[in-house]
Chains A and B, each alone.
Chain A
Amino acid sequence: MVAKGRIVWVSGPAVKADGMSSVKMYETVEVGDSKLIGEVIRLTGDVAFIQVYESTSGLKPGEDVSGTGQPLSVLLGPGIIGRIYDGIQRPLDDIAEKSGAFIGRGITTTPVDMKKKYTFTPSVKKGDTILGGSILGAVEETPLLTHKILVPPNYPEATITEIVKEGEYDLEHIIGQASSKNGDKIELKMYHKWPVRKPRPYLERFDPTVPLVTGQRIIDTYFPIAKGGTGAIPGGFGTGKTVTLHQIAKWADSKVVVYIGCGERGNEMTEVLVEFPHLIDPRSQRPLMERTVLVANTSNMPVAAREASIYTGVTMAEYYRDMGYDVVLVADSTSRWAEALREMSGRLEEMPAEEGYPSYLASRLAEFYERAGRIRALGSPDRSGSVTLVGAVSPSGADFTEPVTTHTIRFIKTFWALDTRLAYSRHYPSINWMQSYSGYLEDISKWWKENVSPDWYDLRAESYHILQREDTLKEIVRLLGPEALPDEEKLVLEVARMLKIGILQQNSFDKVDTYCGPAKQLKLVRLMVMFYKEAQKALKEGKSLADIRALPIITTLLKAKFEVTDEEISKLEEIEKQLSDSFKGNIEEVKVSV
Chain B
Amino acid sequence: MIVDGVTKASFDELVEIETNDGERRLGKVLEVGSGKAVVQVFEGTTGLAITGTRVKFLGKTMVMPVSQELLGRVFDGLGRPNDGLPDPVADKFLDVNGEPMNPQSREYPTSFIQTGVSVIDGMLTLVRGQKLPIFSGSGMSHNILAAQIARQATVVGTNEDFAVVFAAIGVQYSEAQYFKRSLEESGALKRSVLFVNLADDPAIERIITPRVALTVAEYLAFDLGMHVLAILTDMTNYAEALREISAAREEVPGRKGYPGYLYTDLANNYERAGRIKGKNGSVTQMPILSMPADDITHPIPDLTGYITEGQVVLGRDLFRKGIYPPVNVMMSLSRLMKDGVGEGKTRSDHMEVGNQLYDAYSRAQEVRALAEIVGKAGLTGVDLKYLDAGDSFETHFLKQSPDENRNLDETLSRAWDILATLPEGELTKIKDKHIQQYYKGNK
Interface residues in chain A, defined as those with a beta carbon under 8 Å from any beta carbon in chain B: 7-12, 16, 55-61, 84, 92-93, 95-96, 99-104, 236-238, 261, 263, 265-267, 269-271, 273-274, 296, 298-301, 303, 336, 339, 342-343, 346, 352, 355-356, 394, 396-399, 423-426, 477-483, 501, 507, 509, 552, 554-555, 558-559, 562-563
- How far does the alpha carbon of A96 sit from the alpha carbon of B109 in the complex, in Å? 19
Interface string of B246-277 (1 = CB under 8 A from A): 00000111110000110110011001101011
Q: Contacts A265-B307, A424-B362; is A303 near B302 (CB within 8 Å)? A: no
**B33 engages A238 (CB within 8 Å):** no
When distances are taken between beta carbons in the complex, the residues of chain B under 8 Å from A483 are 374, 378, 380
When distances are taken between beta carbons in the complex, the residues of chain B under 8 Å from A60 are 8-11, 32
- Interface residue from A96, A342, A563 paired with B254 (Cβ < 8 Å): A342
When distances are taken between beta carbons in the complex, the residues of chain A under 8 Å from B331 are 424
When distances are taken between beta carbons in the complex, the residues of chain B under 8 Å from A301 are 100
When distances are taken between beta carbons in the complex, the residues of chain B under 8 Å from A263 are 263-264, 267
Name the residue in A12, A16, A102 with the highest tally of chain B Cβ atoms < 10 Å from its Cβ.
Answer: A102
Closest CB pairs A-B (n = 5): A9-B33, A299-B267, A397-B297, A481-B374, A237-B305
- How far does the alpha carbon of A85 sit from the alpha carbon of B105 in the complex, in Å? 13
When distances are taken between beta carbons in the complex, the residues of chain B under 8 Å from A96 are 102, 104-105
- Interface residue from A10, A59, A296, A552 paired with B103 (Cβ < 8 Å): A296
Beyond A271-B339, A425-B359, 18 additional contacts (C-beta under 8 Å) are: A10-B11, A10-B31, A16-B33, A92-B103, A100-B105, A102-B99, A238-B310, A299-B267, A300-B271, A301-B100, A342-B260, A343-B261, A346-B251, A356-B253, A398-B297, A426-B359, A478-B369, A478-B373
When distances are taken between beta carbons in the complex, the residues of chain B under 8 Å from A238 are 305, 310-311, 333, 335
- How far does the alpha carbon of A562 sit from the alpha carbon of B427 in the complex, in Å? 13
When distances are taken between beta carbons in the complex, the residues of chain B under 8 Å from A99 are 102
- How far does the alpha carbon of A236 sit from the alpha carbon of B310 in the complex, in Å? 12
- B319, CB-defined interface residue at 8 Å: no
When distances are taken between beta carbons in the complex, the residues of chain B under 8 Å from A552 are 425
Residues of chain B from 295 to 322 with CB closer than 8 A to chain A in the complex: 297-299, 302-303, 305-307, 309-311
- How far does the alpha carbon of A265 sit from the alpha carbon of B310 in the complex, in Å? 12
**A299 engages B307 (CB within 8 Å):** yes
**A56 engages B102 (CB within 8 Å):** no
- How far does the alpha carbon of A95 sit from the alpha carbon of B101 in the complex, in Å? 11
- Interface residue from B32, B61, B103 paired with A61 (Cβ < 8 Å): B32
When distances are taken between beta carbons in the complex, the residues of chain A under 8 Å from B261 are 303, 339, 343, 346
- How far does the alpha carbon of A57 sit from the alpha carbon of B62 in the complex, in Å? 11
- How far does the alpha carbon of A573 sit from the alpha carbon of B84 in the complex, in Å? 78
Name the residue in A343, A355, A424 with the highest tally of chain B Cβ atoms < 10 Å from its Cβ.
Answer: A424
When distances are taken between beta carbons in the complex, the residues of chain A under 8 Å from B271 are 265-266, 298-300
When distances are taken between beta carbons in the complex, the residues of chain A under 8 Å from B428 are 501, 555, 558-559
Q: Of all chain A residues, which has the CB nearest B6? A: A61
Name the residue in A61, A271, A339, A356 with the highest tally of chain B Cβ atoms < 10 Å from its Cβ.
Answer: A61
- Count B-side interface residues using an 8 Å CB cutoff: 77
**A267 engages B10 (CB within 8 Å):** no
**A509 engages B351 (CB within 8 Å):** yes
16 CB-based A-B contacts, threshold 8 Å = A61-B9, A103-B100, A263-B264, A266-B103, A267-B336, A270-B107, A300-B100, A300-B268, A339-B261, A346-B260, A396-B303, A397-B299, A423-B333, A424-B330, A481-B373, A562-B431
When distances are taken between beta carbons in the complex, the residues of chain B under 8 Å from A95 are 102, 104
Q: Contacts A346-B252, A483-B378; is A104 near B99 (CB within 8 Å)? A: yes
- B432, CB-defined interface residue at 8 Å: yes
- How far does the alpha carbon of A545 sit from the alpha carbon of B326 in the complex, in Å? 39
Minimum Cβ distance to chain B for residue A486 (Å): 15
When distances are taken between beta carbons in the complex, the residues of chain B under 8 Å from A479 are 373
- How far does the alpha carbon of A12 sit from the alpha carbon of B307 in the complex, in Å? 21
Name the residue in B98, B99, B251 with the highest tally of chain A Cβ atoms < 10 Å from its Cβ.
Answer: B99
Q: Of all chain B residues, which has the CB nearest A501? A: B428
Minimum Cβ distance to chain B for residue A352 (Å): 5
Interface string of B224-237 (1 = CB under 8 A from A): 00000000000000
Count how many pairs of residues, one from A and one from B, have CB atoms less than 8 Å apart in the complex.
215
Q: Of all chain B residues, which has the CB nearest A271? A: B108
- Interface residue from B252, B311, B338 paired with A356 (Cβ < 8 Å): B252
When distances are taken between beta carbons in the complex, the residues of chain A under 8 Å from B106 are 101, 266-267, 269-270
- How far does the alpha carbon of A55 sit from the alpha carbon of B97 in the complex, in Å? 11
Q: Contacts A92-B104, A336-B263; is A267 near B109 (CB within 8 Å)? A: yes
**A103 engages B33 (CB within 8 Å):** no
When distances are taken between beta carbons in the complex, the residues of chain A under 8 Å from B378 are 481, 483
**A84 engages B104 (CB within 8 Å):** yes
- How far does the alpha carbon of A346 sit from the alpha carbon of B98 in the complex, in Å? 25
- How far does the alpha carbon of A274 sit from the alpha carbon of B275 in the complex, in Å? 14
When distances are taken between beta carbons in the complex, the residues of chain A under 8 Å from B9 are 60-61
When distances are taken between beta carbons in the complex, the residues of chain B under 8 Å from A477 are 370
Minimum Cβ distance to chain B for residue A12 (Å): 8
- How far does the alpha carbon of A84 sit from the alpha carbon of B11 in the complex, in Å? 30
- B13, CB-defined interface residue at 8 Å: yes
**B302 engages A356 (CB within 8 Å):** no
Q: Of all chain B residues, which has the CB nearest A16? A: B33
**A8 engages B33 (CB within 8 Å):** yes
**A10 engages B32 (CB within 8 Å):** yes
**B33 engages A61 (CB within 8 Å):** yes
When distances are taken between beta carbons in the complex, the residues of chain A under 8 Å from B431 are 562-563
- B30, CB-defined interface residue at 8 Å: yes
**B103 engages A8 (CB within 8 Å):** no
**A9 engages B102 (CB within 8 Å):** no
- B43, CB-defined interface residue at 8 Å: no
When distances are taken between beta carbons in the complex, the residues of chain A under 8 Å from B330 are 424-425
When distances are taken between beta carbons in the complex, the residues of chain B under 8 Å from A299 are 263-264, 267-268, 271, 307
**B355 engages A426 (CB within 8 Å):** yes
When distances are taken between beta carbons in the complex, the residues of chain B under 8 Å from A269 are 103, 106
When distances are taken between beta carbons in the complex, the residues of chain A under 8 Å from B338 are 509
- B222, CB-defined interface residue at 8 Å: yes
**B104 engages A273 (CB within 8 Å):** yes
- B436, CB-defined interface residue at 8 Å: no
**A339 engages B264 (CB within 8 Å):** yes
When distances are taken between beta carbons in the complex, the residues of chain A under 8 Å from B380 are 483
- B244, CB-defined interface residue at 8 Å: no
When distances are taken between beta carbons in the complex, the residues of chain B under 8 Å from A296 are 103
- Interface residue from A11, A501, A507, A555 paired with B11 (Cβ < 8 Å): A11
- B437, CB-defined interface residue at 8 Å: no
Minimum Cβ distance to chain A for residue B182 (Å): 29
- B186, CB-defined interface residue at 8 Å: no
When distances are taken between beta carbons in the complex, the residues of chain B under 8 Å from A271 are 108, 339
When distances are taken between beta carbons in the complex, the residues of chain A under 8 Å from B12 are 56-58
Interface string of B85-118 (1 = CB under 8 A from A): 0000000000001111111111111000000000
Q: Of all chain B residues, which has the CB nearest A11? A: B31
- B34, CB-defined interface residue at 8 Å: yes
Q: Of all chain B residues, which has the CB nearest A358? A: B252
- How far does the alpha carbon of A270 sit from the alpha carbon of B106 in the complex, in Å? 6
When distances are taken between beta carbons in the complex, the residues of chain A under 8 Å from B34 are 8-9, 61
